[in-house]
Amino acid sequence: MRKSSIIRLLFLGLILIVVPNLAAGQIVDPKHPKDSKHFPSAEKVTACVSCHTCEKPTPDDPCLVNCPRHGAHFYGHHEVAEGPEIVIIDQLADLYRPVVFAHRLHAEMSNMTGGCENCHHYSEQSGVIPPCRECHDAAKGPVSLNQPALKGAYHRQCMNCHRDWSHASACGFCHEQVHEGIGTAVPDTTDIVGIPHPNITSPPTFTYQTTYEEGPVVTFHHVDHVDNFGLNCVDCHRGDSCSRCHEPEKPKAQKTRVDHVTTCCSCHGQRDCAFCHTEQSKPRFEHTRTAGWALEPHHTDVACITCHGSPRDFRTPSDKCTSCHIHWEVGEFDHGVTGLTLSEDHVDLDCSDCHLEMNFSVRPSCEDCHDEPMSPDRLPGIRK
């Protein structure tokens, strides 16, 4: 009896000594590199099974588990401003030009939901985020079936949200083709409310009450600026942040008066105060009233900048037709649009034959060419 219980004790002791060492042996492999990936800190030892599926991973066959996409391997917190503003993604630029990735903008968006981990699913313990290509091989096929190669990793990262957002998978949105001539323009990355953003509905008119006594009311017709003046969102909203609209509860930097004035004055800088500050609210823009020159009927579809240049560089064009229509030649111009359809005898004449010195503001008279006024209506054609 005694003998057997001693043996039992010895056996138990043996187990107690050997087993922990066996277990530890799996982790503390003397040949294993003591890198931060496996030994993030002195206290913390990553359990093998959290990354590897097999007992003895080798460099050739690391038998990695699927990387947990969210959180598990991400340490630390980063401010939006810490990241780069723009990242040029050019590792796979054979078919397309490098992609210009507005990192800051995306970081800001991400900050409103899941933070950096929305995209960066891994960081070293120190908080350093390695570039995607360090794990995701740029080689054409995936190295391991469990892990997408670089191309797949990028696309899944981007398309996951972009499809939800715009339901589009137009490659040209991010990519410009390498081949000449068929490239699509890279969008303005500071334009956060531009094309990719789902349609934003804005009130057509904002009316501000100001403390400026001589003209307390400032009427801003947003609809005119967007629909008629052809401004892009980014022309005024440059530098706006996502949270301005998406996190209304979040305290935001109040725009000062000067901010407004600066924005408006970037175009309207030459105007006096009364241009904006009025006693009553201003009606919407009407070309006839403002300029004394009706756009109807032939100029309604002409963009403002065609005649007036860019909003910042506004110019008043001459009222002479030739100030714009300088390229018309005989036969090209349909005189009928003026309301007077030329008769057969006149239709082939040069413009300058009647409009002397191409001065279209002076009405031609029959006597310039003919000895006496011509019947029936002293007109070279039929007026509609």
Q: Is 34 in the site for another protein (CB under 8 A)?
A: no
Q: Is 152 in the site for another protein (CB under 8 A)?
A: yes
Residue 156 or 284: which CB sits closer to another protein?
156
Q: Is 164 in the site for another protein (CB under 8 A)?
A: yes
- Least distance CB 191 / another protein (angstroms): 21
- Least distance CB 183 / another protein (angstroms): 9
Out of 58, 66, 113, 270, the only residue in the binding site for another protein (CB under 8 A) is 66
Question: 235: closest CA among 263, 257, 197, 271?
Answer: 263
Residue 152 or 204: which CB sits closer to another protein?
152
> Of the listed pieces 82-90, 164-172, 202-210, 319-327, which binds another protein according to CB under 8 A?
164-172
Q: Is 91 in the site for another protein (CB under 8 A)?
A: no
Q: Is 60 in the site for another protein (CB under 8 A)?
A: no
Q: Total number of residues binding another protein (CB under 8 A)?
A: 23
Q: Is 172 in the site for another protein (CB under 8 A)?
A: yes
Site residues (CB under 8 A) for another protein, limited to 190-249: none
Strand-pairing partners, residue 96, are 177
- Least distance CB 129 / another protein (angstroms): 22
Question: Residue 68, preceding bond cis, omega within 30 degrees?
Answer: no
Residue 179 or 250: which CB sits closer to another protein?
179
Q: How far apart are alpha carbons 44 and 38 in whole angstroms? A: 9
Q: Is 57 in the site for another protein (CB under 8 A)?
A: no
Q: Is 95 in the site for another protein (CB under 8 A)?
A: yes
Residue 60 or 272: which CB sits closer to another protein?
60
Out of 177, 228, 243, 263, the only residue in the binding site for another protein (CB under 8 A) is 177
Q: Is 142 in the site for another protein (CB under 8 A)?
A: yes
Q: Is 148 in the site for another protein (CB under 8 A)?
A: yes
Q: Is 258 in the site for another protein (CB under 8 A)?
A: no
CA distances from 27 to 18, 30, 40, 206, 370 (A): 15, 9, 13, 66, 110
Residues in contact with 70: Cβ distance below 8 Å, sequence separation at least 6, in sequence order: 114, 117, 121
Out of 167, 289, 363, 383, the only residue in the binding site for another protein (CB under 8 A) is 167
Residue 174 or 231: which CB sits closer to another protein?
174
- Least distance CB 117 / another protein (angstroms): 17
Encode burial over 157-169: b for 16+ CB neighbours within 10 A, e otherwise: bbeeebeeeeeee
Of the chain, the end-to-end C-alpha distance in Å amounts to 130
Q: Is 71 in the site for another protein (CB under 8 A)?
A: no
Out of 156, 257, 299, 320, the only residue in the binding site for another protein (CB under 8 A) is 156
Residue 148 or 380: which CB sits closer to another protein?
148
Contact at 8 Å (CB) between 219 and 275? no
Contact at 8 Å (CB) between 274 and 210? no
Out of 56, 70, 77, 163, the only residue in the binding site for another protein (CB under 8 A) is 163
Residue 196 or 381: which CB sits closer to another protein?
196
Tell me which residues touch another protein (CB under 8 A). 66, 95, 140-142, 145-146, 148-149, 151-152, 155-156, 159, 163-164, 167, 169-172, 177, 182
